[in-house]
Amino acid sequence: MTSPQEQHLDVGAYVLGLLEPEEMAEFATHLAGCARCTAEADELSGLEPLLAEYAEAVGPAVPPAAGGRMLERLTAEVTASRRSARTRRLFLVAAAVAVLIGGPLVGASLGGADGGRPAAHSTSPAQELMDHGVRHSAADASTGAVATVALEDRKWGTHVALQLGGVRGPLNCSLVAVGRSGEQQTVTSWAVPPAGYGLPGQPDSLITHGGVGLPSAQIDHFEVRTADGARLVAVPV
């Protein structure tokens, strides 16, 4: 069984899906009760799609091993490394994260629709998008929930950030994009702790992010829903 200290180091591998099935289950149990790892998982949640976008953005200037097959190579190397040393896996995950936050991927992932390459950000991807994306806000008087979404068009769809307050837990929630055609896609999901978000005693709002395979022009609105389908707030766009 993995020690508690080792589990803290597994968050990157968990986000990338590089753990064995039994390790994934063990870490998911750990994650449910560890605020530290939950915060780190949120920071890294955009890693896999951004690695894919990096390969598309840099094109033929990057060798195939560092392009479209980067994640597959990492996965293959990590799988082989489990047979020799646990630290090898952690090294590879750290290398992938370094590419995300320090290499050309930063410019590619944060560039706007015009292909601009702004300077690397010092905040999380979710906060960066909240600061610079196209924002839409709404509140629900019956539930007390207040939400802002920030949008950024990407080649694969829309990058979406959410800031949510006025919600008390414990709850499991999801952000759902509803298209103009009625199509629905889940952007991201999370657990609300008992103290909630944006409330007395817990004034900080939730800030998270994800993506959908719809251009922003095809999205009618977003809904924050509980696991049982209750709508906490809808945000028209």
Q: Distance (Å, rounded) from C-alpha 208 to C-alpha 190?
A: 9
Statement: the pTM of the whole predicted model exceeds 0.85: no
Contact 105, 50 (CB under 8 A): yes
List, in order of start, the domains of the chain with CATH numbers: 4-110 (no CATH), 125-236 (2.60.40)
Q: What is the pLDDT of residue 74?
A: 53
Cα separations (Å) of 136 from 139, 221, 232? 11, 10, 16
In this structure, are strands 231-236 and 171-179 parallel, antiparallel, or unpaired?
A: unpaired
Measured between alpha carbons, how far is residue 76 from residues 72, 83, 87, 186 in Å?
Answer: 6, 12, 15, 29
Question: Which residue blocks in the chain are alpha helix, DSSP H?
Answer: 4-9, 11-16, 21-32, 35-44, 47-58, 70-81, 86-102, 105-110, 125-132
> What are the residues facing 223 on neighbouring strands?
176, 234
C-alpha span between 48 and 186 (Å, rounded): 17
Phi first, then psi, for residue 103 (nearest 5°) are: -100, -165
Per-residue pLDDT of the chain (237 residues; tens, 9 = 90+): 555 555 556 666 766 666 677 777 777 777 677 777 776 776 666 555 555 454 455 444 444 444 445 555 555 554 454 444 444 444 555 555 554 444 433 333 333 434 444 444 446 899 999 999 999 999 999 999 999 999 999 999 999 999 999 999 999 999 999 999 999 999 999 999 999 999 988 899 999 999 999 999 999 999 999 999 999 999 999
Burial (CB count within 10 angstroms: exposed 0-12, middle 13-18, buried 19+), residue 161: buried
